Amino acid sequence: MFGKFRRSSDVRPDEPLPRLKADTDFGFDSAPGTGRGSSAGGGAPKNLATYDQLGQTLVATPVVATLSGPDAGRLASELCEKIHSAHHDPDATGPGIRHVVLDLQNVQYMDSMCVGVLVELLTTLKEAGGRIALVNAAANVEYLFKLTRLDRVFPICRDVMKAIEVVERGG
């Protein structure tokens, strides 16, 4: 869709997901099939999101309508695995992934547990010099971030290219 995106390969759901840092624990069971998100076919999706990379930015688009509890932990684990594998890929050309843009176009509901997981992910990214931005948030999801004043920490953009610009320029 954006031309320069590189779709990464899917992770098998029965494999354990490596962590970005050894002490990163999102407090949720990341076992496959624990998700409650809606997907075609009635079962949990193979991955909770699709992933595209543009330069040093990973664009993650969750494919579920509800992000809560175990799904939030699984999504964070998937994101950390993608970031970790990009830094340790011997075939990779370039600097790897530093920033994350979370495209919430499919997400209609997000609970406070998911927000907590995103805050932990933000902390992990900041320690590595990265940033995170949200894009295409539904009105109730955006309201949750405004209510908790986390919209000051997580930039909320209207389109993916603007979000990539925000994380890469640092504002």
| 48-104 pLDDT tens trace | 999 999 989 999 999 999 999 889 989 989 998 888 887 666 565 566 889 999 999
Q: What is the pLDDT of residues 121-159, one digit of tens each?
A: 999 889 888 999 999 999 999 999 999 999 999 999 999
Superfamily of domain 26-59+67-157: STAS domain (3.30.750.24)
Q: Is the dihedral of CA 71, 39, 157, 164 positive or negative?
A: positive
Q: Count of residues for the chain?
A: 171
Through-space distance between the first and last CA atoms of the chain, rounded to whole angstroms: 25
- Domain chopping of the chain, boundaries: 26-59+67-157
Beta-bridge partners for 147: none
Q: 6 to each of 81, 118, 152, how far by Cα in Å?
A: 16, 24, 30
